[in-house]
Structure formats: C-alpha cells, structure tokens
Amino acid sequence: MAARPATDGEGVDASVPWWRRKRPRLLPPPPPEADAEQVKAEALALMAAHPVLPRLVVFDLDHTLWPFQCDRLPKDEPPYLYPQARGILKALKDRGIEMAIASRASRKKGVAKAFLEKLGIHFMFGAQTRKLGVSCVLVDTGITLEKLRTGLSNYANRSASPNAEPAGGRSAEITWYLDVATG
C-alpha cells in the first residue's frame, strides 16, 4: 500500500514547495441585494418628481449592472447584480420605460445573455439600439439611485432646451445611457 503524502493543516501536500501548491481560491461573497421593493419605491418617487421621462434607457452591463466583466467571471461563480440594480430595473419597467443593452459583453460567446437569464432579468431588455443622440451618465461603481437621479435630471434638462426635437423626433428614442469608465 502506497504511503499518503503528508499534508499541512489545510489538506495540501506538504512535499510540494509552497509556491507550487494549489490553494483553493477564496472569492469574496457577492454584496447582498438591497430590498428591491424599497429601492423600486424610491426610484418611482424620483421619477414622479421629473415631469419628463425618457422612453428608453440603455444600459451597459459590466460594472454597471454587475461588478465584474462577465467574460472574466470564473465559470463556477454565479453572477450577481449590484445591490440597487434590481429595484431600479423594476421601477423603470413599472413606469413603462423600455430598456435595452449596449455592451460589448453582449456579443461575446453569449455569456452576457446567459447571465441575464440566470439573474431572471433577461425579459426586461427588449429594444434594439442604433446610433441616435443620447444623454450620458457615467456609472463607474454600479447603478444607484443617485445615478438614476442624475440621468433623469440630464434628460429633463436636455428635453427642455430650445434645440430639443419634439417628442416624436428621433432623438427622443434613446434618452440616456449608463456606461462604465474605461481606464
């Protein structure tokens, strides 16, 4: 009978030098989702305070709805959303505002689509986007109520400008875009 190799206290073969040992990767736990219904109520209150709302909101995915690049998340780690993302998406849907995705991640190997399905939010994004005038909001650490407030204010200010097209004009189709900082 072959002798079993000696192990250190963590079950790792002690005969292998420490720099060659494979240790289990310890991933930080995902942040807990905020109470989606409470965030939704706050987002709806924000929208009620703005007289003009966009017809379409376009989201990037990586580092906007979730805190990682979807094509770099280990296969054994389940996807998760930023804490306030689900509540904000629900509020936009309840107000009848269409949502779409404009992301390079959505084209890579279907990973983003699979994540949206696993998270149960794939049905919320139906619109196909195209090049049109947009109002932008930089989202560098996830979608929050403050970013929603900024986007709604930017849209209202843009819509009130003397150069704005009428509501039926093309520029009203895509209103603001949540993007991630590239750096």
Q: How far apart are CA 14 and CA 181, in angstroms?
A: 44
Q: Is the pLDDT of residue 179 over 50?
A: no
29, part of any domain: no
Range of the domain at 171: 36-179
157, part of any domain: yes
Backbone angles phi and psi of 58, in degrees to 5: -110, 130
State the pTM of this model. Answer: 0.66
pLDDT tier at 69, thresholds 50, 70, 90: confident
Q: How far apart are CA 13 and CA 10, in angstroms?
A: 9
Q: What percent of the residues of the chain are helix, what percent strand, and what percent coil, each to the nearest 5?
A: 35, 15, 55
137, part of any domain: yes
What number is the average pLDDT over the span 147-175?
Answer: 64
Count of domains observed in the chain: 1
Q: Side-chain half-sphere of 43: how many Cα atoms within 13 Å? A: 27
Partners of 137 in beta bridges = 178
pLDDT tier at 161, thresholds 50, 70, 90: low
Angle between helices 85-94 and 36-48 (to 10 degrees): 50
For 93-107, letters b (16+ CB in 10 Å) and e give eeeeebbbbbbebbe
Which CATH number fits the domain that encloses residue 139?
3.40.50.1000
Q: Which residue has the higher pLDDT, 183 or 157?
A: 157
10, part of any domain: no
53, part of any domain: yes
Could you tell me where the DSSP H helices lie in 49-140? 85-94, 111-118
Q: Which residue has the higher pLDDT, 173 or 63?
A: 63
pLDDT at residue 2, rounded to an integer: 53
pLDDT tens across 90-118, in order? 999 999 999 988 777 655 568 888 899 99
45, part of any domain: yes
pLDDT tier at 8, thresholds 50, 70, 90: low
What are the tokens at 113? 């689509």
Q: Is the pLDDT of residue 138 over 90?
A: no
15, part of any domain: no
pLDDT tens across 30-44, in order? 778 889 999 999 999
